C-alpha cells in the first residue's frame, strides 16, 4: 500500500507554523489541533523543520517554564526526513524506525502536500492485514 492511499483516507491537512512562533503558541496549536507535530515553514512556504511534542518536552525539561518564550525555530528538528506519495507504507515505517521520528512530511516536487504519522501508517497496515485475513477465511470457508 502506498502513502498516497493513506493520504486519500486521512486527508491532506497539514498544520504549520512559522519559526518565529513561541513554544507556548506551538503547544497551544498542538493541543487545539490534536496533533503531535507541526511543520515549520519559511516565508516562501518551504519546509524549515518539524516541531513535535518531543521537541517541546525536551526544551521544557532543559530550561523550565522560561522555554515557552523561546521560538520554535530554536527548538525544532531541522533535519527533516520526508516521504513521497508513491513510497510504500513499509518503506516509510522502516525510515521512521531507523531515524527515530514519528512524523513524515509528504512532499511532491519539493512542495509540502501532507503529513503522515507512525500511527497513520500502523493503522493502515493493521487494516490491510485484517482484510487479508478475512479474505483467507472466506476462501477457506468456501472450499
100 band by pLDDT with thresholds 50, 70 and 90: very high
Task: Look up the CATH number of the domain holding residue 37.
Answer: 3.10.580.10
> What CA–CA distance (Å, rounded) separates 73 from 50?
9
pLDDT tens digits, one per residue of 16-47: 999 999 999 999 999 999 999 999 999 998 99
Using pLDDT thresholds of 50, 70 and 90, give the confidence band for residue 74: very high
Per-residue pLDDT at 143 exceeds 80: no
Averaged pLDDT for residues 1-8 = 94
64: left (phi over 0), alpha (psi -120 to 50) or beta: left
Over residues 106-131, the pLDDT tens digits come to: 999 889 999 999 999 999 889 888 87
Please give the pLDDT value at position 142: 81
Secondary structure, 3-state, the chain:
CEHHHHHHHHCCCCCEEECCCEHHHHHHHHHHHCCCEEEEECCCCCEEEEEEHHHHHHHHHHHHHHHHHCEHHHHCECCCCCECCCCEHHHHHHHHHHHCCCEEEEEECCEEEEEEEHHHHHHHHHHHHHHHHHHHHHHHHHC
- The C-alpha atoms of residue 81 and residue 13 are separated, in whole angstroms, by 18
Query: Which pLDDT score is estimated for 135?
Result: 83
Name the residue among 69, 29, 73, 31 with its Cα closest to residue 55: 73
pLDDT bin (cut points 50, 70, 90) of residue 133 is confident
Which of 139 and 50 is assigned the larger pLDDT? 50
Give the mean model confidence (pLDDT) for residues 94-106.
96
Terminal C-alpha separation, the chain:
28
Supply the pLDDT for residue 48. Answer: 95
Whole domain around residue 91: which residue ranges?
3-142
**Number of structural domains found in the chain:** 1
Amino acid at each position: 500500500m502506498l502513502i498516497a492511499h493513506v493520504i486519500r483516507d486521512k486527508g491532506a491537512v497539514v498544520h504549520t507554523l512559522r519559526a518565529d512562533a513561541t513554544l507556548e503558541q506551538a503547544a497551544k496549536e498542538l493541543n487545539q489541533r490534536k496533533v503531535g507535530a507541526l511543520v515549520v515553514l519559511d516565508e516562501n512556504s518551504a519546509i524549515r523543520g518539524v516541531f513535535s511534542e518531543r521537541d517541546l518536552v525536551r526544551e521544557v525539561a532543559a530550561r523550565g517554564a522560561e522555554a515557552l518564550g523561546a521560538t520554535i525555530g530554536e527548538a525544532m528538528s531541522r533535519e527533516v526526513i520526508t516521504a513521497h506519495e508513491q513510497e510504500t507504507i513499509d518503506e516509510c515505517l522502516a525510515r521512521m524506525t531507523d531515524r527515530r521520528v514519528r512524523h513524515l512530511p509528504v512532499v511532491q516536487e519539493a512542495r509540502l502536500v501532507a503529513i503522515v504519522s507512525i500511527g497513520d501508517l500502523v493503522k493502515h497496515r493493521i487494516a490491510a492485514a485484517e482484510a487479508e485475513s478475512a479474505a483467507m477465511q472466506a476462501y477457506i470457508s468456501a472450499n
